[in-house]
Amino acid sequence: MKDMKMAMIVLVTGGSGLVGRAVEEYVKNNKLNDETWYFTNSKEANLTDLEATKRLFLKYKPTHVLHLAAKVGGLFYNLHQPVDFYRENTLINDNVLLCAHESNVVKVVSCLSTCIFPNEITYPIDESMVHNGLPHTSNIGYAMAKRNLDILNQCYGRQYDRCFTSVIPTNVYGPHDNFNLEESHVIPGLIHKCYLAKRDQTPFVVSGTGSPLRQFIFSSDLAALMVWAIRSYDDRNPLILSVDESAEVSIKYVAETIASALKFTGPIVFDRSKSDGQYKKTASNAKMRSLSPSLATFNFTSFEDGITHTVGWFIQEFSSCRC
Ligand code: NDP
Residue whose CB lies within 8 A of the most ligand 1 atoms, among 16, 72, 166, for a mutation test:
72
pLDDT at 76 over 50: yes
Considering the domain boundaries, does residue 72 fall inside one?
yes
Catalytic residue among 26, 142, 173, 195: 142
Measuring from atom 6 of ligand 1, which residue has the nearest CA? 14
Judge whether 1 lies within some domain. no
Q: Please give the full DSSP string across 29-53, using - where no structure is assigned.
A: HH--TTEEEEE--TTT--TTSHHHH
| Residue 94 counted as domain residue | yes
Q: How far is the CA of 70 from the centre of ligand 1 (A)?
A: 4
Residue 323 inside a domain? The answer is no
Domain housing 181: 8-317
Average pLDDT on 86-115 reads: 97
pTM, entire model: 0.95
In short, whether 18's Cβ falls inside 6 Å of ligand 1 is yes
Mutate to test the pocket of ligand 1, among 12, 24, 38, 68 (most ligand atoms within 8 A of CB): 68
Binding site membership of 68 for ligand 1 (Cβ less than 6 Å): yes
What tens digit of pLDDT does each residue of 9-36 get?
Answer: 999 999 999 999 999 999 999 998 899 9
| Stretch 228-243: mean pLDDT | 98
- List pLDDT tens digits, range 149-188: 999 999 999 999 999 999 999 999 999 999 999 888 999 9
Please identify, by atom number, the ligand 1 atom nearest to the C-alpha of residue 14.
9
Mean pLDDT of the region 191-201: 97
Residues 6 or more apart in contact with residue 12 via CB below 8 angstroms: 20, 23, 24, 37, 38, 39, 40, 65, 66, 68
Q: How far is the CA of 269 from the centre of ligand 1 (A)?
A: 31
Residue 27 lies in a domain: yes
Residue 109 within any structural domain of the chain: yes
CATH code of the domain covering residue 163? 3.40.50.720
Which ligand 1 atom sits nearest the alpha carbon of residue 111? 32
Residue 126 is assigned to a structural domain of this protein: yes
Is 168's C-beta closer than 6 angstroms to any atom of ligand 1? no
pLDDT score, position 5: 64
CB 225 within 8 A of CB 287: no
Counted domains in the chain: 1
In this structure, is residue 12 part of a structural domain? yes
